[in-house]
């Protein structure tokens, strides 16, 4: 794979000479990371007006700039202001606007953390922050508060403590490595982590969230994939936001991962001025599946500080899904989610397809607007589930069914659970009952 004429020009503007192959060396890319506005402008051949400069410098002091030469080379200098690549990597003074509803840690990742660097939010899976380093600082980063922190690569000691937690917590069957970007670690360090995790009997899958196929595709080397395939099943989730990010180089990186037998998913963030358009999204998901990447999530932009200018109304996401569901391959449609502020986790949101319901019929509408009915069975025999799998006709001989505890709404639906209502912890009416009961107890 050769590099483009434009990339050759940029290569020389970095003061590099000799073989253009160096451009494709990820370490050359990291060494030439652009971290200041002057270099950014010189290399790209653009200029911001002086009256804007002061605000930009101020933004940079709060939220640093960092972009790989490769990602920079994808910007169209003729129309950089509207460029989706530029908007994702170049600071905007709008980032300094902290609005009323912004939060430093909207997802409460620091609160739901039993050991530093690990978030245990869902019953059976955990998120591990294995690095604070990224090949590019996304302007829309949800962990903006941490971007550019010193001591960014956690020491082996810190990682070991997180791994110990997983080792002694048998419900964890899925470990998600995130960061920062786990692929910014050396192969040796990453392998050290993977080796320990995969040796834990109850860890069934390891997932890696990385943006390197988008911003530093040369990081996906043969050596890396050869190492990864030793620890299968490893799933990789990447983060493409715009069809323009799918280039020959990123295609090659994705192909290498897929050829190593690694299932690929993609998480897109819905961003105003970047991809808040059904046509852009449709092009993006088509390019992804063409490259063996399954669109996994479409995220509503989080409430982190300084992201307001990137946020769209939820209706924009619904409109995009409306234009995908039914119109294109089912596996090209991501699940649209809002990551609940306060740590409630990802909540899926969908257009409504269920229009009405009676005791034996449901009324539905399809993507074309056709309204149709589905007849429910007249003779469905509801069997009472007392979790006695041995006597059940479903022939599922599962161990430990008696101990299985339903959670949340699942609890309300389960036969074997007597819960009839879920009540918020601070419900006043229930607090009064409690107080009354205590008073009575104190008297007797």
Ligand X SMILES: *Cc1c(COP(=O)(O)O)cnc(C)c1O
Active-site annotation, residues: 121-122, 125, 134, 138, 141, 143, 302, 339, 346
- Cβ-based nearer residue to ligand X, 32 or 143: 143
- 157 CB-near residues (< 8 Å, 6+ apart): none
Interaction between residue 333 and ligand X (CB under 6 A): no
CB of 343 to ligand X, least distance (A): 8
In the stretch 334-363, what mask flags binding to ligand X with x, by CB under 6 A?
------------x-----------------
Question: Shortest gap between Cβ of 105 and ligand X (angstroms)?
Answer: 12
Helix axes 5-13, 37-44, angle to 10 degrees: 140
Contacts with ligand X by CB under 6 A: the residue count is 7
Q: How far is the CB of 131 from ligand X (least distance, A)?
A: 16
Q: Which of 336, 339, 320 is closest to 328 using CA atoms? A: 320
- Phi then psi for residue 206, to 5 deg, are -120, 135
Block residue for tokens 């649209």: 336
The token duo for 3 is 């590099």
Does 300 help bind ligand X (rule: CB under 6 A)? no
Span interacting with ligand X, options 7-15, 117-125, 147-155, 187-195, rule CB under 6 A: 117-125
Q: What is the C-alpha separation between 53 and 411, in angstroms, rounded?
A: 56
Under the criterion CB under 6 A, does residue 122 sit at the interface with ligand X?
Answer: yes
Give the C-alpha separation, 282 to 162, whole Å.
Answer: 39
> Which of these ranges, 121-129, 150-158, 361-369, 379-387, lies near ligand X under the rule CB under 6 A?
121-129
Closest approach, Cβ 297 to ligand X, in A, equals 7
Task: Give me the helix-helix angle, 187-198 and 156-167, nearest 10°.
Answer: 20
Question: Taking the complex as a whole, how short is the minimal distance between the CB of residue 153 and ligand X, in angstroms?
Answer: 21
Q: Which helix (H) or strand (E) holds 69?
A: helix 69-72
Among 287, 230, 282, residue whose Cα is nearest residue 264: 287
Is residue 121 within the footprint of ligand X (CB under 6 A)? yes
Pick the closer one to ligand X by CB: 251 or 346.
346
2-10, 115-123, 134-142, 301-309 -> range binding ligand X (CB under 6 A): 115-123
Closest CB to ligand X among 87 and 125? 125
45-46-47-52 Cα dihedral, nearest 10 degrees: -140
Binding to ligand X (CB under 6 A): which residues in 401-440? none
Tell me: does residue 251 bind ligand X (CB under 6 A).
no
Angstrom distance (rounded) from CA 370 to CA 347: 28
> Given the complex with ligand X, which of 122 and 367 has the nearer CB atom?
122
**Whole-angstrom Cα distance, residue 401 to residue 416?**
11
Binding segment toward ligand X, per CB under 6 A, in 19-27, 120-128, 212-220, 321-329: 120-128
Q: Cβ 125 to ligand X, closest distance in Å?
A: 5
15, 82, 210, 224, 237 from 266: Cα distances, Å: 35, 24, 10, 19, 5
Other C-beta atoms within 10 Å of 438: how many? 10
- Of residues 158-187, those binding ligand X (CB under 6 A): 176
User: Of 88, 119, 241, 312, which lies in the binding site for ligand X, with binding defined by CB under 6 A?
Assistant: 119
* Ramachandran bin of 34, using left for φ above 0, alpha for ψ from -120 to 50, beta for the remaining angles: beta
| Under rule CB under 6 A, residue 203 binds ligand X | no
CA 312 to chain centre: 18
Nearest approach in angstroms of CB 336 to ligand X is 13
Does 127 engage in binding with ligand X (CB under 6 A)? yes
For 174, the 3-state DSSP assignment is strand
Give strand pairing partners of 361.
Answer: 375
For ligand X, which residue of 24, 32, 125, 139 counts as binding (CB under 6 A)?
125
Question: Looking at beta carbons only, is 46 or 108 nearer to ligand X?
Answer: 108
Q: Which chain residues interact with ligand X by CB under 6 A?
A: 119, 121-122, 125, 127, 176, 346
């Amino acid at each position: 794979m050769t590099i483009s004429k434009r990339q050759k020009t940029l290569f020389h503007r970095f003061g590099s000479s000799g073989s253009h192959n160096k451009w494709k060396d990820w370490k050359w890319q990291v060494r030439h990371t652009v971290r200041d506005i002057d270099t950014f402008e010189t290399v790209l051949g653009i200029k911001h007006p002086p009256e804007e400069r002061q605000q930009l410098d101020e933004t940079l002091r709060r939220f640093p700039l960092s972009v790989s030469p490769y990602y920079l080379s994808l910007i169209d200098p003729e129309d950089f202001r509207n460029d989706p690549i530029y908007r994702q990597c170049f600071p905007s003074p709008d980032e300094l606007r902290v609005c009323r509803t912004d939060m430093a840690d909207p997802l409460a990742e620091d609160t739901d953390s039993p050991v530093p660097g690990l978030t245990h939010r869902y019953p059976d899976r955990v998120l591990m922050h294995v690095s604070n380093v990224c090949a590019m600082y996304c302007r829309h980063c949800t962990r903006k508060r941490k971007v550019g922190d010193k001591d960014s690569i956690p020491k082996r000691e810190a990682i070991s403590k997180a791994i110990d937690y997983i080792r002694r917590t048998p419900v964890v069957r899925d470990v998600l490595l995130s960061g920062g970007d786990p692929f910014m670690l050396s192969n040796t360090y990453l392998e050290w982590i993977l080796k320990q995790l995969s040796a834990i009997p109850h860890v069934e899958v390891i997932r890696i969230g990385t943006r390197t196929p988008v911003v530093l595709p040369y990081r996906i080397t043969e050596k890396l994939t050869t190492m990864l395939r030793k620890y299968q099943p490893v799933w990789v989730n990447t983060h493409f936001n715009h069809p323009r990010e799918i280039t020959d180089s990123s295609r090659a990186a994705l192909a290498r991962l897929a050829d190593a037998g690694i299932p690929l998913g993609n998480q897109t963030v819905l961003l105003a001025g970047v991809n808040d358009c059904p046509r852009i999204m449709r092009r993006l998901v088509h390019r992804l599946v063409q490259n063996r990447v399954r669109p996994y999530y479409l995220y509503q932009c989080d409430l982190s500080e300084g992201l307001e200018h990137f946020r769209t109304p939820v209706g924009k996401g619904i409109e995009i899904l409306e234009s995908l569901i039914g119109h294109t391959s089912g596996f090209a449609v991501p699940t649209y989610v809002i990551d609940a502020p306060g740590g409630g986790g990802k909540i899926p949101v969908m257009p409504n397809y269920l229009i009405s319901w009676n005791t034996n019929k449901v009324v539905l509408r399809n993507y074309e607007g056709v309204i149709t009915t589905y007849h429910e069975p007249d003779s469905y025999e509801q069997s009472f589930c007392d979790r006695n799998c041995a006597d059940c006709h479903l022939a599922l001989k599962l161990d430990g069914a008696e101990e299985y505890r339903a959670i949340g709404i699942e609890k309300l639906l389960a036969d074997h659970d007597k819960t009839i209502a879920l009540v918020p912890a601070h419900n006043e009416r229930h607090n009064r009952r409690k107080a009354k009961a205590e008073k009575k107890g104190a008297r007797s």
